[in-house]
Chains A and B, each alone.
Chain A
Amino acid sequence: MGQKIEQDLQRFRKIVRGKVKSNLSKYISRGEMIGKKGNDYVSIPLPSINPPQFRFGKKNSGGVGVGPGQPGQPLTAPQDGEGEPQAGDSPGGHILEVDLTLEELADILGEELALPRIEPRGQKNIVTEKDKYTSIRSVGPESLRHFKRTFKRALKRQIAAGTYDPQQPVVIPVREDKQYRSWKEVPKPDSVAVIIYMMDVSGSMTDEQKEIVRIEAFWIDTWIKRHYNGVETVYIIHDAVAQEVDEHTFYHTRESGGTKISSAYELCHKIIDARYPPSQWNVYAFHFSDGDNWGDDVPKCKDLLHHHLLPKLNLFGYGQVESPYGSGEFAHHVFELAEKHENVVVSHIPDRDAIVGSIKEFLGTGR
């Protein structure tokens, strides 16, 4: 590819980024991107960014086509966006789909919401050591011989010894001249993280609220994945009892039972201890609920959080969605804990428009 088009392409990408950035809150609250997620990129429908031109509207417009059909019959081909049917093949203004990598998307999110970067905690992230060839020594295998330095030294020696003849510039390195590349072992931080999502699936949670959770989870994923090399996700649903499920089940399960939040915290605790020891993992836990808990269960929840969960977590996010049934009282209890633990964030998400703010609250801690 020529360099020229590369520049124009970069420029175009920059404009797209800007567009996505300025429309980000709209994209977030509509959840448009999630359905378009590929393995490592998302397709984003952008309104056309072509320069505007004087054009005809649709009203009274028409054209000529070919094929069977009676007058009055609608044209069968799908409406491709705003595409105006025309003679010739002049491009109709259609919706532009651009692909962004998840990293790019996370960067845009970070810039737009002014999120601080996450700093992986402590020493636990040192997993691998890598050899870096940065230094020089005088012994080593021939395959690592530093050619230039070796000959430079040989030249120096010959000049000093007076055996160098500029008329006949022959430089012969001897044993002492030889220089070899040498390596250092560099610890390479290889940080891993696990995100544990917990959701209340009791009867009082509606589909709309689950959708909100889904959108939140998508963005939290995107952001946290940007900062760690390996991110795993765990999904836990609970009503009166908790169970670990896969992603699809997580969003599509509906139970009718009561609510015991402690069941989820307990399971979460067990999973962390069994599979994600905090000494090696950065653990994130997010819990979404409508805030309705069985009264007697509250002290147990607080105890679990205070003594067992919170010390092991990078961040505990409690997102309370508003439901027509829930009392929303549980948020207060978590909030009390937030005063003692700085890794607790409580966020209210009454509707889709609040998602942006909530994401900022969750991720604004930089933890």
Chain B
Amino acid sequence: MSWGFYNTNLPPHLRVLKDEIEGYAREYGLDFFETIFEVVDADDLNEIAAYGGFPTRYPHWSFGMQYEELKKSYEYGLSKIYEMVINNDPCYAYLMRCNHTVDQKLVMAHVYGHCDFFKNNAYFAHTSRKMMDEIANHAARIRRYVERFGEDEVEAFMDKCLSIDDLIDIHSVAIKRRDDASKYDFTALDEPERTETEDTPRFKAKGYMADYINPRPENKPSDAEETKAASRILHFPERPEKDVLLFLIEHAPMKNWQRDILSIIRDEAYYFFPQAQTKILNEGWASYWHSTIMTQKVLEPSEVIDYADHHSGTMATSSRRLNPYKLGIELLRDIERRWNMGQFGPEWENCDDMEKKRTWDKQLGLGRQKIFEVRKIHNDITFIDTFLTPEFCKEHNLFSFSYQEQTKNYVIESREFHKIKQRLLFSLTNFGKPWIYVIDGNHRNRGELLLRHEHHGIDLKLDEARDVLANLQYIWARPVHLETVCDGQPTLLSFDGSEHTQQTIGGTDDRKTAAKTK
């Protein structure tokens, strides 16, 4: 792939290194797509990073903001991007031109860890491996809309979409909640399948190009009206819908270009979320492999100090933020050790003799095999849930903290295992974001939108929630409501297009039945 304005050729000495490290990675049993290293300058790297790794991403000012932040903190020497690798087939990874050779080695070894993870981890199975191309197509489509409808108009709409791009159902890729509807199929459920093929010829296209080459036929306005009328009679959605974006795409009265943009944002959100979902495991895995390959194979004696310095820099932790690299690599090593020594299973769990436990070693040597299995079937939540042990928490000095209303500060809450685990899992569940469902798309039989925040003990940040509601209202075009809990009181936040209201509701149950009887 040529970028046009980047000269990304791999210099000969790096090509030699690449072949060497790739060989070691394969020897260890890592299994990855072909990996292409691009050598770029710091500035270009910042640009690519701002675009989430995709130089061809659609235009939006938020990338400009990202870029400025990255650039500034790089120029001030506060941060430096070491590695960036794209889940794609082939995998693309970026090397910074000015890095030392030892850093390049470290990054390459690390990258092969990621590439193996992308290819083999179950949670990446659904992601498109031609994302480089798809994202370029997305950008082309959005640019076309910008040309047709104006930058301000498109940008304003995209701002609204990006404000809700986290309202997706991450489990939908694994569970069949309902019959398949193609992502661009907007016909109502009860309408007979339309035969597009008869009026418009379909061109042969590769998977990632299909939507581009054979765009969805324009909906005739009358059709849209009919579908709306038809859907109004039904109570919908049939069950609470977590994929708010999908619901909007299917039911909100948007123009076609708007619908397309929202679909693009949703597609990209689904592509990116597994990376957030497996951050600890993925980074831990890659770090495990860079440390293994570096220390056992490629490190020259003269590079040891630099390597140790940079490795420890990556693993540094702070009291407020858990370093996913550190947590991941330590947990993986812990698993490897336990499975090597046979410290698992009912026999180990039920053993109360501390002395016996201390010297427990069955010499099973299953460690390596086990961590390969872990990288295949786990995500962060199941990883922590399954393998975090009280001993581990103690050894690594973990604690849980909570916010104190009086002091307006975070204080250490506990060092108890179950508390730590609970806090950790909570912060990982749904990416630490609130659970929002669409409850009713015809609320009060007036076509209003009712959402519910499933309350798990923490209130929403209200001012921001109101802004999101306003954005939703823009898309839905009718009043929108959000049921949530505020200071222990069930509360309904509403926005009708001109003003925000907040009212306490007697009990959510009444409301539900009331809505259902309509």
Contacts and interface: CB of A to CB of B under 8 A. Distances in A.
Interface in B433-486: 433-434, 436, 453, 457-462, 464-465, 467-468, 471
Contact of A2 (B47, B320, B327, B433): B47
A166 to B, nearest CB: 41
B413 interface: yes
A63 B427 contact: yes
Contacts of B47: 1-2, 4-5
B62 interface: yes
B401 A62 contact: yes
A189 B106 CA distance: 58
A75 B407 contact: no
A73 interface: yes
A62 to B, nearest CB: 4
**Chain B's interface: helix, strand, loop or mixed, by majority?**
mixed
B4 to A, nearest CB: 9
B34 to A, nearest CB: 25
A195 B353 CA distance: 84
Interface in B295-345: 317-324, 326-327
Interface in A53-80: 53-77, 79
A40 interface: no
A59 B403 contact: yes
A64 B61 contact: no
B44 to A, nearest CB: 7
A71 B409 contact: no
A5 B47 CA distance: 6
A5 B65 CA distance: 10
B63 A5 contact: yes
Given A52-B464, A57-B461, A63 B433 contact: no
A261 B162 CA distance: 60
A74 B64 contact: no
Given A2-B5, A5-B47, A86-B321, A51 B159 contact: yes
Contacts of A9: 64, 67-68
A4 B405 CA distance: 45
A69 B399 CA distance: 9
Given A59-B458, A90-B276, A50 B62 contact: yes
Given A12-B65, A51-B62, A61-B402, A87 B324 contact: yes
Contacts of B401: 62-65, 75, 85
A24 to B, nearest CB: 20
B183 to A, nearest CB: 22
Contacts of A14: 61
Given A8-B59, A67-B317, A56 B68 contact: no
A245 interface: no
B159 A8 contact: no
A88 interface: yes
Interface in A5-62: 5, 7-15, 49-62
Contacts of B465: 52, 54-55
Contacts of A98: 68
A52 B402 contact: no
Contact of B324 (A61, A67, A88): A88
B319 to A, nearest CB: 4
A290 B384 CA distance: 67
A4 B458 CA distance: 40
B173 interface: no
Interface of B: 5-6, 43-44, 47, 50-51, 55, 59-65, 67-69, 151, 155, 159-160, 162-164, 166-167, 276, 279-280, 317-324, 326-327, 380, 396-405, 407, 409-415, 420, 423-424, 427-428, 431-434, 436, 453, 457-462, 464-465, 467-468, 471
Interface of A: 1-5, 7-15, 49-77, 79, 83-90, 96, 98
15 contacts: A2-B55, A3-B5, A8-B59, A11-B60, A11-B155, A14-B61, A53-B464, A54-B464, A56-B461, A59-B458, A62-B423, A63-B400, A65-B319, A87-B327, A88-B276
Given A55-B465, A64-B401, 6 more contacts: A49-B65, A53-B164, A56-B434, A62-B400, A66-B323, A71-B413
